[in-house]
Each structure stands twice: as structure tokens, then as C-alpha cells.
């Protein structure tokens, strides 16, 4: 798949990889048993920078098309394209994310300056606590899953909009009575669902409802006042989508695969906080290579959801170190 460039010092390699998921991961739009990721590697002499993305059908992406889009830039990379130039060549999305993160990693390895310093963070990144996701299932099955995860401080519940969501949350609360809860409807609700469920969920301690309505219909949230914070996920991508969140959401979920990499994600985080929004750092189901750059973004975030590797049957080696749901910053061998 990579396009060879003769006599080039800097080369780009693209690969498609599959990592099995532990069990089945279900959201309102469907289910899957494996995570198919696209990895980009930029090699300059003896140094290689790496990045990983997850193409997402919801945004019109396929693994094959994203891999080809990255590979098509091999000559540009060989001819000196850098991270800044990349922003003008590709739009926000999975393809730019993999390349952007590979450029960050490459710069850190070439200069010996860690990525957090390149990003002008005030302090080196520290461990953060991540939510742990329970995918959609029957209420009884989700109660059992919650009981098995009752020691985890924050659970994120995937919901379906099929009339059983109240029973699902009740079951999870029974299974994990002390865990903090947030729920993700993945665009599966109507405004009537939100009006009906938000007070019930508030009474059970649910702290945030993520993307209750389809992104195309979320103007219905303008002026909505309820007892639970609302988070934007599918409704926000890059900086240009921030303005349309005003008056609808209190939390913005920033994912590298939506922003097109760490470069725009850092700018979006700063702008979102300046606009008075709380920041959540999220992920697709992917390996530690995809989570590692997001650890810079997660510093100081109000909500962290970087549990992708915990949902896999196997991760990359070396990967991030997880102590339960506490995730530690990457070692340089992995990224940055």
C-alpha cells in the first residue's frame, strides 16, 4: 500500500491492523468484535514516528479509503511536508490524525524534546483516571457487567433509545452502587426521550448525558434546561464546529480522530475552555498508540474516556500502563 519514493530520506509507511475486542462492543448504531486501525509511520534516517487512527463509518470513512489517503501523501512527506503543512492538505478526520500524531512523535524523537514540551504544556503529563465503558446489552447483562466493574470509579454506559434505557441504568446502578455514572446515547434518542429520562437519571446519580440527539437535529436542545449536563460528541469535530454548540451543551468530547490529530485538538481544548465548556477527552476502540497522544490532551480535562485498550483482548507492546482505570503517560518507546 505505501508508495515508495526513490532516494528519499524520509519515508511514509501505512498499515491496516486488526485487534480483537474482548467480547462484543455494542452502541446504538451497531456492534463489532474487532478494532480495525490504520497506522502511519514516518521514518527519517534511523528514527520513526508513529500514529494510529480509527476510520469511522458514521463520518463516511472506511479503513481502505483512509489508508489510501494517507499513502497518497508519501511523496509530499518525502519532499519535506511537516505537521503545519499537513493541516492545509487534509481535513479533520482519521487520516490526518494518524499522520499528525506521527509527525509529533517524529519531532520528539529527532529533537530529543518530549511531545509535552513541544506542545508548551506547563508540566509533564501525569496519570489520569479514565471512565470504563459498558456496551449496550439487556438490563440483566448490564447489571452483571456493572457488578464486575463495581470497583471502577466512573462507568460510561452505552444506551440504545429502544425503550429499555431506564431499566439499563437502574440495573447498572444496582450492580455498581458507588460508581459515578455517565451515559452515551450515540444520537439514539428523541427530545421526548431526553425530557423523560433526564430527571430519572439525575435521581440515580448520572452526571452527564452524551449526544442524546442526532447531530443534525440538536438545534432542539437550544434553551433546554435539565438536571443533567449534556455532552457533545458527534456534534463536534474541529474548531469550526465549536460555535454551534453554544446554548446546547455544557461538555465537549474531543477525540483525535474527529479533530484530525493532536494539533487541532489542543487548539480546540483551549477554545472550548475559553467558551466556558467543560472538556471531555474521548477515544475510539483502539490501541495504546491511539491513546498516547490523547494523554497530553487529558491533562486537566474534566472528563477522561481513554479506555480503548481495556476493551481489547490484546494491546500493542509496549502499551500504556493501566492500573485499574488509572492510565499512565506513554514511555518514549511507545510515543512522544
Please list the active-site residues. 158, 255
C-beta neighbour count of 325 within 10 angstroms: 20
CA gap 224, 221 in Å, rounded: 5
CB 206 within 8 A of CB 180: no
What would the grid cell of residue 224 be?
Answer: 433546554
Q: What angle do CA 13, 19, 25 make, to 5 degrees?
A: 135
The DSSP 8-state label assigned to residue 159 in this structure reads -
CA gap 317, 329 in Å, rounded: 15
Q: Which is it for strands 47-53 and 30-44: parallel, antiparallel or unpaired?
A: antiparallel
Phi, psi of 247 (to 5 degrees): 80, 0
- For the chain, what is the total number of helices (H) and then of strands (E)? 11, 14
CA gap 29, 58 in Å, rounded: 9
Q: Kindly give, in sequence order, each residue whose CB lies less than 8 Å from that of residue 99, ignoring residues fewer than 6 positions away.
A: 12, 40, 42, 51, 70, 73, 77, 86, 90, 261
What would the grid cell of residue 122 be?
Answer: 506547563
CB 107 within 8 A of CB 116: no
What would the grid cell of residue 150 be?
Answer: 463495581
CA gap 209, 89 in Å, rounded: 35
First to last CA, the chain: 26
CA gap 234, 23 in Å, rounded: 25
Q: Where are the beta strands (DSSP E) in 237-313?
A: 251-254, 278-281, 303-304
Q: Which residues pair with 229 in a beta bridge?
A: 208
Amino acid at each position: 500500500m505505501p508508495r515508495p519514493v526513490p532516494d528519499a530520506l524520509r519515508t511514509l509507511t501505512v498499515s491496516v491492523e486488526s485487534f480483537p475486542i474482548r467480547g462484543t462492543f455494542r452502541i446504538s448504531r451497531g456492534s463489532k468484535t474487532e478494532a480495525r486501525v490504520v497506522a502511519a509511520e514516518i521514518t527519517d534516517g534511523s528514527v520513526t514516528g508513529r500514529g494510529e487512527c480509527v476510520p469511522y463509518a458514521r463520518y463516511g470513512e472506511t479503513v481502505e479509503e483512509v489508508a489510501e489517503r494517507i499513502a497518497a501523501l508519501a511523496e509530499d512527506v518525502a519532499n519535506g511536508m511537516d505537521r503545519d503543512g499537513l493541516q492545509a492538505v487534509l481535513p479533520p478526520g482519521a487520516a490526518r490524525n494518524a499522520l499528525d500524531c506521527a509527525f509529533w512523535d517524529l519531532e520528539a524523537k529527532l529533537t530529543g524534546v518530549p511531545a509535552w514540551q513541544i506542545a508548551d504544556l506547563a508540566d509533564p503529563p501525569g496519570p489520569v483516571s479514565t471512565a470504563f465503558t459498558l456496551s449496550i446489552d439487556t438490563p440483566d447483562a448490564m447489571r452483571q457487567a456493572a457488578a464486575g466493574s463495581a470497583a471502577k470509579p466512573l462507568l460510561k454506559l452505552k444506551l440504545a433509545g429502544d425503550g429499555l434505557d431506564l431499566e439499563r441504568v437502574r440495573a447498572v446502578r444496582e450492580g455498581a452502587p458507588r460508581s459515578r455514572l455517565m451515559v452515551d446515547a450515540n444520537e439514539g434518542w428523541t427530545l421526548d426521550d431526553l425530557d423523560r429520562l433526564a430527571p430519572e437519571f439525575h435521581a440515580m446519580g448520572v452526571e452527564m448525558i452524551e449526544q442524546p440527539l442526532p447531530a443534525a437535529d440538536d438545534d432542539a436542545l437550544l434553551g433546554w434546561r435539565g438536571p443533567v449536563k449534556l455532552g457533545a460528541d458527534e456534534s463536534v469535530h474541529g474548531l469550526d464546529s465549536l460555535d454551534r454548540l453554544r446554548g446546547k451543551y455544557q461538555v465537549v468530547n474531543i477525540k483525535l480522530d474527529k479533530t484530525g490529530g493532536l494539533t487541532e485538538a489542543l487548539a480546540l481544548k483551549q477554545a472550548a475552555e475559553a467558551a466556558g465548556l467543560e472538556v471531555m477527552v474521548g477515544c475510539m476502540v483502539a490501541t495504546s498508540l491511539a491513546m498516547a497522544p490523547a494523554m497530553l490532551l487529558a491533562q486537566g480535562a474534566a472528563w477522561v474516556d481513554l479506555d480503548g485498550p481495556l476493551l481489547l483482548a490484546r494491546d500493542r507492546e509496549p502499551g500504556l500502563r493501566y492500573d485499574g482505570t488509572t492510565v499512565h503517560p506513554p514511555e518514549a518507546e511507545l510515543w512522544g
